[in-house]
């Protein structure tokens, strides 16, 4: 079991450090709404990963991977959601310098959770990787959750670095022009992720 956990931690750690949708969302939230909302977003993402891990362990993700229709529906719903988020950021006018809006922690958590759950690539990762690291004598559900928790811990460590880094330079990042530029970059990235998700093959 320890060997499986260590091996999976290495693979998941490399995946965590790769720039992607989750990183962009957490960083943008840290700048726009502060640390509380950013940590709530990160926690939502991690809860989503735990759900995907449990689903992969009990075979739900395997069913999703095997069903072209189910995968396609989830893919287009997720793509539409990402594009909707991105367009919203592009249309946002921003706020005055150094006066970020009051954080809505619950909304940030839901956004992180929804973004993760509507990304079938996360499910594909878990269904492809988790079975390789689950010992034959172990409970699939318990081991799947444990592996997902390892991924979550690595993800939260990385998100903490990002959030604290953003907070350290909050004076510069809090300027309206900078925040507006970040909204545009993040919005464009979300739309790009959504378009890529819609066009990708099963």
What secondary structure does DSSP assign to 26-93, as a single string? Answer: HHHHHHHH-HHHHHHHHHHHHHHHHHHHHHHHHTHHHHHHH-HHHHHHHHHHHHHHHHHHHHHHHH--
Q: What pLDDT, on a 0 to 100 scale, did the predictor assign at position 39?
A: 95
Q: Which two tokens stand for residue 121?
A: 């690539």
What domain range is 44 assigned to? 2-13+20-199
Distance (Å, whole) CA 185 – CA 97: 18
Q: What pLDDT, on a 0 to 100 scale, did the predictor assign at position 158?
A: 92
Q: What pLDDT, on a 0 to 100 scale, did the predictor assign at position 18?
A: 74
Q: What pLDDT, on a 0 to 100 scale, did the predictor assign at position 154?
A: 92
pLDDT in tens, the chain (202 residues): 788 788 888 878 877 877 777 888 898 888 878 889 999 999 999 999 888 888 877 766 556 666 677 667 767 876 777 787 778 777 766 544 444 455 689 999 999 999 888 877 777 777 767 767 777 777 777 888 888 899 899 999 999 999 998 877 766 556 666 667 767 777 787 788 778 767 766 5
Number of domains in the chain: 1
Q: What pLDDT, on a 0 to 100 scale, did the predictor assign at position 98?
A: 41
Distance (Å, whole) CA 32 – CA 143: 37
Tell me the C-alpha to C-alpha distance, in Å, between residue 140 and each of 69, 130, 147, 196.
26, 9, 10, 32
């Amino acid at each position: 079991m320890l060997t499986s956990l260590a091996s999976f931690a290495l693979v998941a750690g490399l995946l965590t450090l790769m720039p992607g949708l989750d990183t962009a969302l957490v960083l943008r939230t840290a700048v726009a709404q502060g640390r509380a909302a950013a940590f709530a977003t990160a926690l939502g993402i991690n809860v989503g990963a735990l759900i995907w891990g449990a689903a992969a362990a009990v075979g739900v993700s395997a069913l999703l991977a095997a069903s072209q229709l189910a995968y396609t529906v989830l893919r287009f719903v997720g793509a539409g959601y990402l594009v909707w988020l991105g367009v919203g950021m592009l249309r946002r006018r921003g706020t005055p310098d150094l006066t970020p809006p009051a954080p809505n922690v619950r909304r940030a958590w839901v956004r992180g959770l929804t973004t993760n759950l509507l990304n079938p690539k996360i499910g594909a990762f878990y269904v492809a990787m988790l079975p390789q690291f689950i010992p034959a004598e172990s409970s699939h559900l318990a081991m799947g959750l444990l592996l997902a928790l390892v991924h979550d811990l690595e993800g939260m460590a990385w998100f903490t670095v990002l959030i604290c880094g953003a907070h350290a330079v909050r004076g510069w990042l809090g300027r309206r022009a900078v925040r507006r530029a970040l909204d545009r970059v993040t919005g464009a990235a979300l739309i790009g992720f959504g378009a890529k998700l819609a066009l990708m093959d099963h």
